[in-house]
Amino acid sequence: MDFLRPETLAEALELKASRPDAVPIAGGTDVMVELNYDHRRPAALLDLTRIPELGEWSDGLRIGAGVPYVRIIDELGAQLPGLAMASRTVGSPQIRNRGTVGGNLGAASPAGDTHPVLLASDAVIEVASVRGTRMIPAAEFYVGVKRNALEPDELIVAVHLAPAKGPQQFSKVGTRNAMVIAVCSFAISLFPAEKRVGAAVGSAAPTPRRAHEAEQFLASELDFSSPKPLLDSVKREFGELVSLAASPIDDVRGSAAYRKHALAVMARRTLGWAWQELLDGEQQCA
Amino acid sequence: MRVNVTVNGEQRQADDVWEGESLLFMLRERLGLPGSKNACEQGECGSCTVYLDDVPVCACLVAAGQAQDRSVRTVEGLAQGDQLDPVQEAFVEAGAVQCGFCTPGLVVAAHDLLDRVPSPSDPEIREALAGNLCRCTGYEKILDAVRLAAARR
């Protein structure tokens, strides 16, 4: 096995082009488990932790693929509340100190905690190779169970995610608060100015996925111009539509039936919280 | 491969390091520092918690090569000579050690918490230690130890 240690992104892309079999490693929280358990023997590891620009972000926001969860929580929480909420549910403090959104995207597990937020918030994934840069909308990034849209010579460079334009919420079901792979998860983003809603499910289908019908239903039902308390019937219908968007399986973490039920509950509750935040904001303005 | 790393303030060199090896393996098996414990090898238990450039991490999830030119501080590096760190003393006095296997990881995690939050609330202590498992289930005494260490600082 080779251990490749690029110091710049250009160098990393050259290495990935010449060694497409090299496995990128940043926080190591997924890759090292596979190595420790002998589940994977890559020909090379490509260490991305020495590339400064992967660990930075810029206004707008363009978040380097190597920014650890702890910094998203501590330093970007006000701008990206949904992503910060999801990041808080990742592993433990030690894991959040190392793990990155880039790694979440690279692993592309259907249960990855940040995926529903990235989908619901219209994130765009910036990937690069020596051939150039591609901007891939999150909705097109997840192509199968643990498979993403990357070509063998490409690396995930950054996530583009606009600061929240309205309330965002994230919810996850697991057996305890820490160290839990999601049984299922859900994210919602309100875009009041555009009078629309983003909603996405995690760990409830072969890939993380958006709940399009549920989004459209809310866009037609919610009165963003003069928000009033929501009818229970609207929340319930939203929950049902989110549940219908999922196609979960029975596995060790939960049954398909339970996941569908839990998604409806999470969708209903998070909508309630997000809408209440909007109402509270209106009152403050008045 | 060869890895050069500062460990507990000392410049160290490890040879014949396998490229897929963890920092934990290198510390324990090549650098003679068995304080960090090897248990789950998947970041679930926190027994191998060490500081990497002053940030607590699971050493089992860091590739040894990623520690090149970086600074590691293990549980062995907390005491000043024979003088235990206040967190270690508090663990002894509070009876927060049963079989002792989880103790090094918990001591490092608690040490980091008190560096960041000198007077943590109970929820803050629980959150900070959420990545460390004690199979003896001695959590109450561990919480006592962290409160004691915080009170003494």
Q: What is the pLDDT of residues A104-123, one digit of tens each?
A: 999 999 999 999 999 999 99
Fold of A168-285: Enolase-like; domain 1 (3.30.390)
Chain A residues inside the 8 Å CB shell of B131: 91-95, 178-179
Chain B interface with A: residues with Cβ < 8 Å: 1, 18-20, 22, 41-44, 46, 49, 55-58, 60-63, 65-66, 68, 109, 112, 127-128, 130-132
Q: What pLDDT, on the 0 to 100 scale, is given for residue B120?
A: 98
pLDDT-above-70 percentage for chain A: 99
Six token digits for residue B126: 């629980």
Chain B residues inside the 8 Å CB shell of A3: 1, 19, 63, 65
pLDDT for A283 beyond 80: no
pTM for the complete prediction? 0.96
Chain A residues inside the 8 Å CB shell of B62: 28, 32, 98
Q: What's the CA gap between B28 and B49, in Å, rounded?
A: 13
Task: Give the DSSP letter of residue B100.
Answer: -
Question: A27: number of CA atoms within 13 Å, CB side?
Answer: 32
Question: Alpha carbon of A103 to those of A32, A256, B27: distances in Å?
Answer: 12, 27, 25
- What top-level class would CATH report for the domain B86-152? mainly alpha
Of B28, B51, B37, the residue nearest B133 (C-alpha): B37
Of A97, A150, A142, the residue nearest A115 (C-alpha): A142
Q: Please return the burial class of A19, using the count of CB atoms within 10 Å of its CB with bins 0-12, 13-18 and 19+.
A: middle
B134 near B146, Cβ under 8 Å?
A: no
Question: Could B65 and A47 be called an inter-chain contact, meaning their C-beta atoms sit closer than 8 Å?
Answer: yes
Q: Please return the burial class of A281, using the count of CB atoms within 10 Å of its CB with bins 0-12, 13-18 and 19+.
A: middle
Average pLDDT of every residue of chain A: 97
Chain A residues inside the 8 Å CB shell of B57: 94, 97-98
Task: Give the DSSP letter of residue B119.
Answer: S
Q: What's the CA gap between A110 and A182, in Å, rounded?
A: 9
Distance of CA A268 to the CA centre of its chain: 20
Best of A29, A32, A177, A179 to disrupt the B interface (most B CBs within 10 Å) is: A32
Q: What pLDDT, on the 0 to 100 scale, is given for residue A177?
A: 87
Sheet holding A44-47, edge to edge: A2-4, A44-47, A22-25
The CATH number assigned to the domain with range B3-77 reads 3.10.20.30
pLDDT-above-90 percentage for chain A: 97
Best of B19, B37, B44, B106 to disrupt the A interface (most A CBs within 10 Å) is: B19
For chain A, list the strands marked E by DSSP: 2-4, 22-25, 44-47, 57-58, 62-64, 124-129, 132-137, 142-144, 147-148, 155-160, 168-173, 184-191, 196-202, 209-210
- For A163-189, the DSSP string reads PPSS-EEEEEE-SSSSS---SEEEEEE
Does A265 lie at the interface with B, CB-CB under 8 angstroms? no
Give the model confidence (pLDDT) of A184-235 as tens digits: 999 999 999 999 999 999 999 999 999 999 999 999 999 999 999 999 999 9
Six token digits for residue B35: 């304080």
Q: What's the CA gap between B38 and B50, in Å, rounded?
A: 12
pLDDT for A285 beyond 80: no
Helix A212-221, helix A232-245: angle, nearest 10? 160
φ, ψ of residue B65 in degrees (nearest 5): -65, -25
Six token digits for residue B2: 């060869």
The residue extents of the domains of chain B are: 3-77, 86-152
For tokens 């498979």, the residue is A147
Question: Alpha carbon of B119 to those of A143, B91, B115, B147, B151: distances in Å?
Answer: 47, 17, 10, 8, 7
Long-range residue pairs from A140-146, CB within 8 A, at least 24 positions apart, any chain = A141/A105, A141/A108, A142/A108, A142/A110, A142/A115, A142/A207, A142/A208, A142/A209, A143/A207, A144/A206, A144/A207, A145/A110, A145/A206, A145/A207, A146/A107, A146/A108, A146/A109, A146/A110
Six token digits for residue A87: 């990041």
The segments of chain B whose pLDDT lies below 50 read none
> In CATH, what is the architecture of A2-38+54-160?
2-Layer Sandwich (3.30)
Q: What's the CA gap between A176 and A155, in Å, rounded?
A: 33
The residue extents of the domains of chain A are: 2-38+54-160, 168-285
φ, ψ of residue B136 in degrees (nearest 5): -75, -10
Q: What pLDDT, on the 0 to 100 scale, is given for residue A284?
A: 73
Task: Give the DSSP letter of residue B77.
Answer: G
What is the separation, in whole angstroms, between the first and last Cα of chain B? Answer: 42
- What Rg, from alpha-carbon coordinates, does chain B have? 15
A167 near A230, Cβ under 8 Å?
A: no
pLDDT for A286 beyond 80: no
* Number of Cβ within a 10 Å radius of residue B55: 14
Give the model confidence (pLDDT) of A43-74 as tens digits: 999 999 999 999 999 999 999 999 999 999 99
